[in-house]
Amino acid sequence: MAFSCRAIPPSGIAISISDNGSGVDPETQSQLFTHGFTTKPDGHGFGLHGSTNAIKSAGGKLSLESAGPNQGATATITLPR
């Protein structure tokens, strides 16, 4: 797992968390932030949806990138000043 933080001119910040885990296929990636979507047998699909809504209310953005299954993923939170 790796963490990074970088400035986004003129006054924003991006915080990224990367791993080399199971990754995410493109179809799943497109649904990750949808209310009620889950990949877990006992999941409810509220976690990432709620997180992205909280970040949006602060004027930011939550994104996730993955090259595909078994290739890890990077989640990035971008916030204004």
pLDDT in tens, the chain (81 residues): 999 999 999 999 999 999 999 999 999 999 999 999 998 999 999 999 999 999 999 999 999 999 999 999 999 999 998
Give the global pTM.
0.88
**59-68: long-range contacts at Cβ-Cβ below 8 A with a sequence spacing of 24 or more?**
62/33, 64/24, 64/29, 64/32, 65/29, 66/23, 66/24, 66/25, 66/29, 67/23, 68/23, 68/24, 68/25, 68/26
